Amino acid sequence: MDETGGSRRRRSPWRQVVAGVSVAALFVVTVSVAAFVYFWVTAPVNTAGQVEFTRALQIPELAESTVEADGTRRFALEMQTGTADLGRGPATQTWGVNGDYLGPTLRADRGEPVRVDVTNELGEVSTLHWHGMHVPAAMDGGPHQMVEPGETWSPHWTVDQPAATLWYHPHLHGSTAEHVYRGIAGMFYIDDPNGPVLPDRYGIDDIPVIVQDKKFDGDQLSLADQMLSSIGILGDEILVNGTPGPYLDVSTERVRLRVLNASNARAYDFGFDTGLTFTLIASDGGLLPEPVELDSLQLSPGERAEIVVEVPPGTSTVLRSTPPDLGADFWNSRFGGGVDTMDVLELRSAAALENNPEIPRRLTELDDLGEPTVTRSFKLSSNAINGRAMDMTRIDAAVEVDTTELWEVRNTDGQPHNFHVHDVQFRVLDTDDPALSGAKDTVYVRPGETVRLLMRFEDYTDPAVPYMFHCHVLRHEDQGMMGQFVVVGPGERPAVIDHDAHAGHR
């Protein structure tokens, strides 16, 4: 008895442990399932028909400039902290350029020498990069051109590329997502006085449309990552040029919208709720050879498109993003913004519209990039490219100037990625998508697919200062899905980047 009782007593704590573990396991499973169901159900965002368009779309100011004796057009930009009303009252803490949120639009003519004095009053180190611009590497504003707090960095170059809608944003390695999200970004237009006649009256029939998704925590911007996803910050509200619930009064027969996806992670598939079609005239690097009539257009982070819309007089229509085709699996699509519908901007047309230029049937002739002499391949997966995470001291590729290369970029994980290359505008091969028929600097790369990009490297060489290539999903970029290339002269070797010297330079 004693033995049995003793043995029973000995077994009893075991049972308690087993029972306890089972209860705990059941609890964990229940909570996980509940959390999963909660995130599954709450992940989709659908604001169709629910946004009240009560605020006139803010138009970023045109940046002031002066022209120096030698013809250089000179701008001054100050990155600063501030507060702005993004729809949650006036106290939302933001960052901006020459203002509280976002920055002014810079404009320069093709052929014009420019200089920008970039002053950093953010209280922490940052950089400012000219996305899409053909510039010397040392002027590019990438992770190596750090601007210390209180300092001014003054890059200068001669604008030499076709008319295009470019943009600027910080590029500090590891912090690009945060700096852009807080509000440092703006447009940089390149004008070509010899180009075709198009609607071009800034703020009247030529409108910057900077689209960003935001998430709020009370009246402050939330920097929390999307749950169950690696994509980073995904917002459930849209701002256009920093305006929540924006409408635009249209006074002309045609309105040209220069749409920039300046969101950290979200891809959009733009169209109009009334089924209105529109004309795509330009992509990242400038005008398409011919205009293309579309009813929807997908843009991943960093991409731009210029579209011309004819809103019938006395009517209104809503620019709406319907679920973008990310090509990702169910999971990554659902938690990566692939099932979301979001209202963006209402266009309200006056009863009588002013006549303005029609779109010509031929817009431009694209440069012949020649035949590639070098082919490189890049695999995007797990926060790395070709298995290597970004290293500021490692040069991943040395390109010889005045050569054409073919870059084959493959997305080998299930995540949505895109690919952006500094310094050049490339051509996307093997596609009949008219939206990819022009010069591009950023392209979406579907899971499991390969894009082939033809690019030509010209003018600037620097064996010691690299340009970047990376996924423009900013969290992926920050986490290491980025690499560095230098453009060198014939027979020249890339220099060794000395990290200590580099750090000392900081």
Of 74 and 376, the one with the shorter C-beta distance to ligand C2O is: 376
The C-alpha angle 147, 97, 245, rounded to 5 degrees, equals: 140
**Residue 111: Cβ-neighbour burial (10 angstroms; 0-12, 13-18, 19+):** middle
Shortest distance, position 259 Cβ to Cu ion, whole Å: 17
Pairing of strands 186-191, 286-294: unpaired
Q: Which two tokens stand for residue 124?
A: 């922490």
Residue 144, contacted partner among ligand C2O, Cu ion, none, CB below 5-8 A by kind: none
Residue 302, contacted partner among Cu ion, ligand C2O, none, CB below 5-8 A by kind: ligand C2O
Whether residue 176 contacts residue 202, with contact meaning beta carbons closer than 8 Å, is answered with no
Shortest distance, position 301 Cβ to ligand C2O, whole Å: 8
Q: b/e map of 121-155 (b: 16 or more CB within 10 Å)?
A: ebeebbbbbbbbbbbbbebbbbbbbbbeeeeebeb
Of 311 and 380, the one with the shorter C-beta distance to ligand C2O is: 380
By the rule CB under 5 A, 320 interacts with Cu ion = no
Of 255 and 299, the one with the shorter C-beta distance to Cu ion is: 299
DSSP state of 145: S
Whether residue 419 contacts residue 410, with contact meaning beta carbons closer than 8 Å, is answered with no
Whether residue 137 contacts residue 462, with contact meaning beta carbons closer than 8 Å, is answered with yes
271-310 mask for Cu ion (x: CB under 5 A)? ----------------------------------------
Dump the DSSP string for 11-29: HHHHHHHHHHHHHHHHHHH
Residue 417, contacted partner among ligand C2O, Cu ion, none, CB below 5-8 A by kind: Cu ion
Of 422 and 427, the one with the shorter C-beta distance to Cu ion is: 422
With contacts defined by CB under 5 A, name the span among 26-34, 149-157, 414-422, 482-490 that binds Cu ion. Answer: 414-422
Shortest distance, position 333 Cβ to ligand C2O, whole Å: 24
Strand order in the sheet with 374-381: 384-385, 374-381, 403-411, 450-457, 427-428
Residue 11: CB partners within 8 Å, gap ≥ 6?
A: none
Closest among 397, 363, 495, 380 to 449, alpha carbons compared: 380
Of 411 and 442, the one with the shorter C-beta distance to ligand C2O is: 442
Of 172 and 309, the one with the shorter C-beta distance to Cu ion is: 172
Whether residue 155 contacts residue 199, with contact meaning beta carbons closer than 8 Å, is answered with no
Residue 475, contacted partner among Cu ion, ligand C2O, none, CB below 5-8 A by kind: none
432-471 mask for Cu ion (x: CB under 5 A)? ---------------------------------------x
Whether residue 316 contacts residue 348, with contact meaning beta carbons closer than 8 Å, is answered with yes
Whether residue 353 contacts residue 252, with contact meaning beta carbons closer than 8 Å, is answered with yes
Percentages helix, strand, coil for the chain (3-state, rounded to 5) are: 15, 40, 45
Q: Which two tokens stand for residue 436?
A: 């990819």
Beta strands in 15-112 (DSSP E): 55-56, 65-67, 73-84, 92-97, 106-109
Among 107, 417, 440, 456, binds Cu ion (CB under 5 A): 417
Rounded Cα distance, 10 and 489, in Å = 81
Shortest distance, position 29 Cβ to Cu ion, whole Å: 32
Whether residue 73 contacts residue 112, with contact meaning beta carbons closer than 8 Å, is answered with yes
Of 353 and 390, the one with the shorter C-beta distance to Cu ion is: 390
Of 131 and 440, the one with the shorter C-beta distance to ligand C2O is: 131
Q: How many residues bind Cu ion (CB under 5 A)?
A: 6
Closest among 399, 383, 380, 391 to 443, alpha carbons compared: 380
Shortest distance, position 173 Cβ to ligand C2O, whole Å: 10
110-139 mask for Cu ion (x: CB under 5 A)? ---------------------x--------
Residue 171, contacted partner among Cu ion, ligand C2O, none, CB below 5-8 A by kind: ligand C2O
Question: Which residue's Cβ has the minimum distance to ligand C2O?
Answer: 131
Of 43 and 421, the one with the shorter C-beta distance to ligand C2O is: 421
Residue 232, contacted partner among Cu ion, ligand C2O, none, CB below 5-8 A by kind: none
CB-side neighbour CA atoms (13 Å) of 61: 11
Residue 470, contacted partner among Cu ion, ligand C2O, none, CB below 5-8 A by kind: ligand C2O
Among 118, 187, 476, 478, binds Cu ion (CB under 5 A): 476
Of 171 and 179, the one with the shorter C-beta distance to ligand C2O is: 171
Closest among 132, 231, 234 to 181, alpha carbons compared: 234
Residues in the site for ligand C2O, rule: CB under 6 A?
Answer: 129, 131, 169, 171, 302, 420, 422, 468, 470, 472
Residue 473, contacted partner among ligand C2O, Cu ion, none, CB below 5-8 A by kind: Cu ion
Of 133 and 328, the one with the shorter C-beta distance to ligand C2O is: 133
Of 272 and 467, the one with the shorter C-beta distance to ligand C2O is: 467
Shortest distance, position 422 Cβ to ligand C2O, whole Å: 6
Shortest distance, position 418 Cβ to ligand C2O, whole Å: 10
Query: For binding to Cu ion (CB under 5 A), which residues are involved?
Result: 131, 417, 422, 471, 473, 476
